[in-house]
Structure 1
Amino acid sequence: MPRADLIVNLVKAGNEGDLKLFRSTVEAMAAEERAKRHHQLADKLIAGLNATTTRPRPIELMRGVDSGHGGLLFEIEPRRSYDSLILDTELRTSLIEVAEEQHRRDLLRSYGLEPRHRILLSGPPGNGKTSIAEAIATELMVPLFVVRYEAVIGSFLGETSGRLKRLFDYVRTRECVLFFDEFDTLGKERGDTHETGEIKRVVSSLLLQIDALPSHVVVVTATNHAELLDRAVWRRFQIRLTVPPPSLMQKEEWFSQFQVRIGLALGITPKALAKKLDIASFSELEQFCEDIYRRYVLTLPNAELKVIVVERLRQWQHRATAN
């Protein structure tokens, strides 16, 4: 049975003729039923909602690997959690609050409030924006849908806007995290004189679709070039977070965790290693550690981890100097 607050909203929408409230309430009911695996009931609710309009054709979803059918969304199974990420205090606190608001949205709604569900992540590449989206999905125990730009962006007038509408029609009836990587690809500044009128219309359509999403759909967008985003994009997002490169302390913590993960001492203290290695992203830290462990495995049973670490460190320092 639907929650009491949804039933009250449904009655209120009927009495006041509020079609927007009616639609969002039915969509929330469908999302909850789908989360309970009551797919048949969820489909009937959405079918009834769209009975007087043209039924959108089903969106094709690709799961796990690219099946080559041109789906608009790519679904991946989230594996990372908040605890697995090395985050500064402010960033971690904001993400914990997002999860708490979603988990306790019934309480918020009883006071006429909705949980925040639109998040904009900005910062240099390789520092965990995609991992954060995955961790949010893990914490909320919902699917993670990644938008495939090569399938969404069309070459003909109106094609992209139509595909965006199909995409949003699909996700709005599901509890999920919807992730736009490289969001500046779609959310470009409309005042840019080099952009066509079609791009400007796409941005306008995109912003309207994001505004209309119910709060059980958590939208996470990521950009490496915040300066390219349309000014109106910033206003749409209730939570705007900068994801910075790793600090010295975070590098040290990374190497400490790496030692625990492989069950071996590196032979050089994490603090000393963090100071010696000039790396500007978490992705490079991961590559460096994988480089060490790969060489260790390949030289077993005579592997000397400290020797390998010193050698890899020398190579990476030389690489940084060459660049």
Structure 2
Amino acid sequence: MARADQVKALVRAFAGNESGHFYSVAMQVAAAEAQRGHVKLAAELKELIEAGRNQVATRGSSATRPMPIGQPKGELAELLTVHYPQVHLNHMVLSAEVEQKIERVLKEQRQHERLASHGLTPRRKLLLVGPPGTGKTLTASVLATELRLPLFIARFDSLITKFMGESASKLRLVFEALKSTRGVYLFDEFDTLGLQRGGQHDVAEMRRTLNMFLQLIEQDTSDSLIIAATNHGRSLDTALFRRFDDVVRYDTPTAHQTAELLRNALAVLASPSLDYEMLSGYAHGLSHSDIIRACNDAMKDAVLEQQNHVAEAQVIEHLKERSAAQRELLPGI
């Protein structure tokens, strides 16, 4: 029979509508049964898996995804890219405070009509602050998935120019799109735009653009969600903070969160003997994304070496590599 971690991985994949991951874990179960000598059961499982894959390929998955909309056109195509993510909240490992804030946004958005009947508006303008790789960008994808909305990402390389007034004009176009097409609009690396006015890096055009952003976000009454994410919260202009409905602060995972991340990321090829608490010690100080990448590298090693399970030594090796790379980038840690 399937191990407990495989059963949990199956349920997690089913709940997250991840058919690829679901069938991958199911094949692991079938392979394990074949190794135990249950050849007939393994063959039946493989037959069911193949039939399920064929059905999904035939009918597609349009019923569970947001209705596609046209790509941004004209000048707007240079300012926004659109995605249709499939990442659910249960895929993330978050602190209780961050998870509570995200769930509050989802609850208010899902019941926006009820709030509107009492003259109230749901949270929809969020500022996400924290170190790189801690889940800020992923949060925007989760909100888009859970609310069945497209995710639009602002391209600051096209939005910010050196010509007087041009950046502000382009910013107006983005906020016009906010009104015409409901979605989740992500302004990633927001410190590119929102640096403290009067600081050493302050330039006239950037100051005008920031002033325009402050005006536009305050005046915006669309149904879209506006997500600004930054790794440098202390560098942001203080006037920005009161323009957002909520500020969500992220941090590197705790030891308990790290163990949960490892358990989730290694579920497909995890050995029953893996000591996640011990492994979490080697991941101290690493971000969520670094831990997941280390687990993926360890699983790829196991597959290429034709192992049935990931060995602790493989996970430790890749966690150490990530930690060493981080120390090279940030020698002070």
Q: Secondary structure at the match of 1:203?
A: helix
8 Å Cα contact 1:267-1:305 kept in structure 2: no
Structure 2 match to 1:43: none
Write the distance in 2 (CA, Å) between the matches of 1:172 and 1:180.
16
1:278 aligns with 2:284: yes
- Number of positions where the alignment pairs a residue of Structure 1 with one of Structure 2: 262
How big is the shift at 1:193? 5.0
Amino acid at match of 1:60: L
Residue 239 (structure 1) aligned with residue 246 (structure 2): yes
**% identical aligned pairs:** 30
| Deviation of 1:191 (Å) | 2.3
Q: Which residue in 2 is equivalent to 1:298?
A: 304
1:316 and 1:266 mapped to 2: Cα distance? Answer: 24
Is the Cα contact below 8 Å between 1:102 and 1:216 reproduced in 2? no
The one-letter amino acid paired with 1:93 is Q
| 1:3 counterpart residue number | none
Partner of 1:84: 91
Distance in 2 between residues matched to 1:117 and 1:154, nearest whole Å:
28
With over 3 angstroms needed to count, the CA separation of the structure-2 counterparts of 1:144 and 1:100, relative to structure 1, is same
Q: Distance in 2 between matches of 1:38 and 1:198?
A: 33
Q: CA offsets per residue over residues 25-68 of structure 1, 9 Å max, x none?
A: xxxxxxxxxx99999xxxxxxxxxxxxxxxxx95433xxxxxxx
TM-score, with structure 2 as normaliser: 0.72
Cα deviation, residue 258, structure 1? 2.2
**Distance in 2 between residues matched to 1:170 and 1:237, nearest whole Å:** 19
1:198 & 1:123 partners in 2: Cα distance? 27
Distance in 2, matches of 1:196 and 1:127, equals 30
Tell me the CA shift for residue 225 of structure 1: 0.6
Structure 2 distance, partners of 1:215, 1:114, is 11
In structure 1, C-alpha distance between the alignment counterparts of 2:322 and 2:226, rounded to whole Å: 37
2:138 alignment partner, one of 122, 131, 138: 131
Structure 2: segments with no counterpart, 5+ residues? 1-65
Is residue 188–residue 229 contact of structure 2 (8 Å, CA) maintained in 1?
A: yes
Equivalence map 1:1-323=2 (5 Å)? 59-61=75-77, 71-260=78-267, 262-265=268-271, 267-300=273-306, 305-313=311-319, 315=321
The unaligned stretches of length 5 or more in structure 1 are 1-34, 40-56, 62-70
Q: Is the 8 A contact 1:259 1:266 kept in 2?
A: no
Return the letter of the residue paired with 2:140. Answer: A
- Answer yes or no: is the 8 Å Cα contact 2:134–2:287 preserved in 1: yes
Deviation of the 1:316 alpha carbon: 5.2
The equivalent of 2:41 in structure 1 is none
3-state DSSP class of the match of 2:225?
Answer: strand
Q: Over aligned residue pairs, what C-alpha RMSD do you find? A: 2.6
Change (3 A) 1:293 1:196: same
Aligned-partner residue type, residue 90 of structure 2: D
1:268 partner SS: coil
Residue 20 of structure 1 is matched in structure 2 by none
Q: Is the 8 A contact 1:86 1:254 kept in 2?
A: yes
Q: Could you say if the C-alpha distance between residues 259 and 289 of structure 1 is closer, same or farther in structure 2, counting changes exceeding 3 Å?
A: closer
TM-score, normalised on structure 1? 0.74
C-alpha spacing 1:207/1:266, structure 2 compared with 1 (3 Å) = farther
